[in-house]
Structure 1
């Protein structure tokens, strides 16, 4: 009987990766980098258990601000990697450092039950809505719900775990303008409440088509 009780104890897993930085051009003079956020979880907090979306640094800044406002000082939201006035789209080291900092930011956020209850966080992680549409959706001002916005994304299957690991090791897109930006090493860490359970994941990943972002003022 004791053995059966032990087997029924279930600890939830939330794993997140920030990877694959890509240079996007708004026009001839303005460009920015966005990053893929891959999430794999069995947590009841999430509508979708496997997802992949792309976000840029300015959207991370927006998310942190909203989380801090909505938490009403109940928790201190983790810091983002600081904005560097000398940040270069051609500097692989700077891109890698920022990418690792963004991942650490998400890992810390996902450990907070207070922050996990925020609809904006879920839309940020599992939908391709723009900042304005995320705000409208979370406020109930759209014809679709938060759950419906998240479920709009499609699935892509990896044939094997080796294919997934190979894909995770590619941190820059092949059509990047920067010859230096080829192989910055991504930080791949499981954010797990049960380390033993973390090995039993990564059969599927999700990819969503990118939604064009109209903001051209923030070039990074």
Structure 2
């Protein structure tokens, strides 16, 4: 079966650090059937500076064996309110990722996988790849986007918080039913994660050690 990797950079949003400082990030969506990826669909948000970091890391790890594509140039006059500049930057970032994902060599890099499929910051990505985190690269990717409950007490607490809103769902009217349903969903998600292929684990695990 032909392997397909599709990536999109879209949905620009202005994020505020404080009253005076703001930046823009973008949604990076991935859809694939490639054996290189543990997750077949993912969505994370990244800012321009993180793309710059990714290119630097890929260049370091490839030891100049691969000619990396260029990022859209940094514009000192870039405006968060200029729709044309934002659109051009998004197109450039997407083109950058599309070219990277054409290289099997680069797709074995753990930094790329964590950048595309985890919510980790760049500093935590570096720590994970270096083995300085309690979780592996594969575990970080698998856990991304999943909400985990550790006990029925946590489930009950979550349901109570939901019922404090204007929601009138059946879970709020019947908390026990909600807990059972969420527990069942948790079991299904755990079972689904355990089916991940050995090939994928080995590929990402080995790249984590080499990086």
The aligned residue for residue 103 of structure 1 is 94
Answering whether residue 57 of structure 2 is matched by residue 88 of structure 1, we say: no
Q: Within 5 Å, give how 1:37-186 maps onto structure 2.
A: 37-154=28-145
Per-residue CA distance 1:136-183 (angstroms, 9 max, x = gap): 10111100011111111237xxxxxxxxxxxxxxxxxxxxxxxxxxxx
Determine whether 1:11 maps to 2:5: no
* Separation (CA, whole Å) in 1 of partners of 2:74 and 2:119: 23
Query: What is the aligned partner in structure 2 of residue 207 from structure 1?
Result: none
CA distance in 2, matches of 1:81, 1:117: 24
The separation in 1 between residues aligned to 2:99 and 2:91, in whole angstroms, is 12
CA offsets 1:81-103 (integer angstroms, 9 cap, x no match): 00000000010000000000000
In the alignment, which residue of structure 1 is the partner of 2:11?
A: 20
For 1:113, what is the secondary structure of its paired residue? coil
- In structure 1, runs of 5+ residues without a counterpart are 1-9, 156-220
Give the superposed CA RMSD: 0.8
Q: TM-score, normalised by structure 1?
A: 0.65
Higher relative contact order (CA 8 A, sep 6+): 1
**CA distances 1:172-201 after superposition (whole Å, capped 9, x unpaired):** xxxxxxxxxxxxxxxxxxxxxxxxxxxxxx
C-alpha distance in structure 2 between counterparts of 1:148 and 1:21, whole Å = 28
Distance 2:64 2:137 in 1: 24
Rounded to whole Å, the distance in 2 between the matches of 1:116 and 1:153 is 19
Structure 1 outlier segments of 4+, above 3 Å: none
Structure showing greater Rg: 2
- Mark the runs of 5 or more structure 2 residues left unpaired by the alignment: 147-211
More helix by share: 2
